[in-house]
A and B are shown apart, each in its own frame.
Chain A
Amino acid sequence: MFGGGCGRNALLNNALFALVIVPIQTTLALGLALLLNRPLKGMALFRTLFFMPVVFPMALVSVIWTIIYAPGSDGMMNAFLRFMTLGFWQPQDFLHDPVLALPAVMLLSIWQGVGFQMVIILAGLQSIPTSLYEAAAIDGSDRWNQFRYITLPQLRNTLIFVVLVTTILSFRLFDSVRIMTRGGPNDATTTVMNEAIKAAFDQQKMAKGSAITVIFFLIVLVITLLQRLLVQEEKAIE
């Protein structure tokens, strides 16, 4: 049923996707939240701007980014990279390149998802009592230490929640893959859900499609339970 490489490729891609996206997106969200966590004017405006992509349907995001990734030197991404590398970048066809396709999809997922996490983390940051920081400042600790010993521990639950949710969401990857690459050059970007839909609808193999979704759910369940187990252990130690 997982005949040949396609099942394995899909699982591999999902795993790769989750392993790359979750840390990058969370770190980025944390960074943005830290930047915004100050009583400066205009923070609300920036927060709105960073959150805007979240409101966009993935289908629309995929369509826009398809143009951004247009091959040749006319493509926006190519032009941008050429600008950033001072002319060294050669124009690439992102969506048809077996190596670049998956990272391209990752980038747009990150773009869409960071705002969501950032808002949650920001709320978590704002609930840390300032008295903790004041006490630490009086004791002479610098900002880096304050971050390590006050901010991070206080944020633990929020960060764990964010990581859990993002992991689960990342396994559902379908919309962008279906619209932009249809599984990618030689299954380079195919995901489990994409394979399931392909089997059930494009190939009329209903049973195979069903089987894939069932196994998928079991895998997600196992991973979620594992993550929760790890979390419980940490709580117990505290």
Chain B
Amino acid sequence: MNNLDSTQWTKQRNQQWLRQIASYLLLTFLAFIFIAPILFMIVGSLKPDELVLSEASTLKAFIPQQISLQNYRDVFERVKFEKFLFNSLFINGTIVLLGLIVNSLAGYAFARLRWRGRSLLLIIVVALMILPLEAIAVPLFFQFTFLGLRNTYIAQIVPFIANAFSIYLFYTFFADLPQELEEAARVDGASPLRTFVEIIVPVSKPVFATVAILTFLSEWRSLLWALMITIDERVRPLPLAIATFQTLPPTQWGDIMSFGVMMVAPILIVFLLFQKWFVKGVASTGTKG
């Protein structure tokens, strides 16, 4: 009896062990496929331009022979990269900061205050969540052109501060908070605004982090609106900049790769540092939906 048990047990252990190895192999293979384009970009940015294309079909695409930072220098010589980076950071940062303030207040109002038309407005907010930017892009464009605000920072910031999805995230979070916290403040005679700032906000760090990350992520990547509303380089953000850079003669792929690396480095670093928050934020949208 004992002998049978122990051989069965080792067999199971071996099977498990094999399954684990297989999983790791599969995952590594898949991970490599996912990372390949990114590696290609990074390595390509360190190579002389001709080699980027000609070595693309071999493993040399992923292993640089001689590392050189010449491409990075080229980018700065050819276009004003600092300006584009500043524009993106400024526009995005402002959208996120102002958005946190505006959307959290709105979410709190929906969660805790009662006023006429509240239910209707809430339904409208939920309905607006599915409205993509594209649906209102052209009319919005007209509005801003009419106001003479084409090619400005304002045009790239203001339409994106209030966000139905952010409001909804704040609303559901605040609604779930226990009322006792605020009751104490109300007894002391504090106004809703004070209650909000001094009691609710400190407790709500997760939702603020989630909204900040999601907003930053989605705005950093947007191309369409910048394409429509900007005309010259002065307020142009990074995604549009790389699209135009790619068409700028001569087409030097090494330079384009280093442009790409510099463009994605900020958000990649932020992502790697705050991974846990990123993943939590994205995952939590699934549980709320």
CA distance A206 to B275 in the complex (A): 43
A206: chain B residues within 8 A (beta carbon): 138, 142
| Contact (Cβ within 8 A) A38 B23 | yes
B113 CB within 8 Å of chain A: no
Count chain A CB atoms within 10 A of each CB in B23, B142, B221 and give the residue with the most: B221
| Contact (Cβ within 8 A) B223 A124 | no
CA distance A165 to B76 in the complex (A): 39
B190 CB within 8 Å of chain A: no
CA distance A135 to B37 in the complex (A): 44
CA distance A51 to B239 in the complex (A): 20
| Contact (Cβ within 8 A) A52 B242 | no
**B33 CB to closest chain A CB, in angstroms?**
9
A127: chain B residues within 8 A (beta carbon): 287
CA distance A119 to B272 in the complex (A): 15
Total residues of chain A contacting the partner, CB 8 A = 76
| Contact (Cβ within 8 A) A200 B138 | yes
**B262 CB to closest chain A CB, in angstroms?**
10
The tally of CB-CB contacts under 8 A between chains A and B is 190
Q: Which of A47, A49, A73 contacts B35 (CB 8 A)?
A: A49
B23: chain A residues within 8 A (beta carbon): 35, 38, 40
1/0 per position for B34-68, CB-CB distance to A under 8 A? Answer: 11011011001000000011101110010000000
Count chain B CB atoms within 10 A of each CB in A56, A74, A200, A214 and give the residue with the most: A56
Other A-B pairs beyond A60-B264, A70-B53, 15, CB < 8 Å: A40-B20, A49-B34, A51-B278, A63-B246, A64-B260, A74-B53, A76-B40, A120-B283, A120-B285, A161-B285, A178-B243, A197-B228, A213-B134, A217-B135, A220-B132
CA distance A88 to B23 in the complex (A): 30
Q: Which residues of A contact B (CB under 8 A)?
A: 32, 35-36, 38, 40, 42, 44, 46-68, 70, 73-76, 78-79, 111, 115-116, 119-124, 127, 157-158, 161-162, 164-165, 168, 171-172, 174-175, 178-179, 193, 196-197, 200-201, 206, 209-210, 212-214, 216-217, 220-221, 224
Q: Which of A119, A200, A214 contacts B282 (CB 8 A)?
A: A119
**B267 CB to closest chain A CB, in angstroms?**
6
| Contact (Cβ within 8 A) B268 A55 | yes
Q: Which residues of B contact A (CB under 8 A)?
A: 20, 23-24, 26-27, 30-31, 34-35, 37-38, 40-41, 44, 52-54, 56-58, 61, 130-139, 141-142, 217, 220-224, 227-228, 238-240, 242-243, 246, 253, 256-257, 260, 263-264, 267-268, 271-272, 275, 278-279, 282-287, 289
A75: chain B residues within 8 A (beta carbon): 56-57
CA distance A67 to B256 in the complex (A): 10
| Contact (Cβ within 8 A) B27 A59 | no
| Contact (Cβ within 8 A) B223 A59 | yes
| Contact (Cβ within 8 A) B138 A57 | no
CA distance A32 to B23 in the complex (A): 11
| Contact (Cβ within 8 A) A220 B130 | yes
Query: Which are the 9 A-B pairs with shortest beta-carbon distances?
Result: A123-B283, A217-B135, A79-B57, A120-B286, A59-B239, A161-B289, A57-B221, A76-B56, A210-B138
| Contact (Cβ within 8 A) B221 A123 | no
B243: chain A residues within 8 A (beta carbon): 59, 62-63, 178-179
Q: Nearest chain-A residue to B61 (Cβ)? A: A76
B256: chain A residues within 8 A (beta carbon): 63
